[in-house]
Amino acid sequence: MAQDTPRQRLEAFVHGMIALQRDDPALNDAILRRYPDAAALVGVCDHSTKLGQTLVRDAHADGSLSPDFTADDLFSLLWLAGIASRDPHAPTGWQRVIERALEAGWTPPK
């Protein structure tokens, strides 16, 4: 990731993961752990999880992400996006809700 700040890297990760989930049903299945016995899919999910945890930790360390926003929050947002992106009956505003939830996690600039 070529972004300069932990915030930019985490934002790029979130937007990239949402795009992948929307555009690649197999990857979406991996992220949502629909097939927990599929070793290859679990490996992809584990790698993404570790990267997400690192990005959250880095954003906490530089003070750009509220300590109240956890890695669990990140993965909950991605799970919600994964479900909504594949459901033709999902409300049209689901992406805006995800964006607002992420935006609420940032701390005000110093």
Question: pLDDT by residue (tens digit) across 34-60?
Answer: 666 666 666 777 788 899 999 999 999
| Residue 44 near residue 26 (C-beta atoms within 8 A) | no
Q: What whole-number distance in Å separates Cα of residue 21 and Cα of residue 24?
A: 6
Task: Give the other-Cβ count within 10 Å of 88's Cβ.
Answer: 4
Give the DSSP H or E segment for 10. helix 6-23
Q: Is residue 110 part of a domain?
A: no
Question: For a pLDDT cut of 70, what percent of the chain falls above it?
Answer: 82
Single-letter amino acid, residue 16: G
Q: Is residue 1 part of a domain?
A: no
Q: Is residue 12 part of a domain?
A: yes
Could you tell me which of 46, 23, 24, 20 has the C-alpha nearest to residue 33? 46
pLDDT at 6: 96
Query: Across the chain, what does the average pLDDT equal?
Result: 86
Q: For the whole model, what pTM was predicted?
A: 0.84
pLDDT at 50: 93
CA dihedral 91, 35, 20, 79 (to 10 degrees): 40
Q: Is residue 35 part of a domain?
A: yes
Give me the number of domains the chain comprises. 1
Q: Is residue 53 part of a domain?
A: yes
Q: Which residues of the chain have pLDDT under 70?
A: 1-3, 30-42
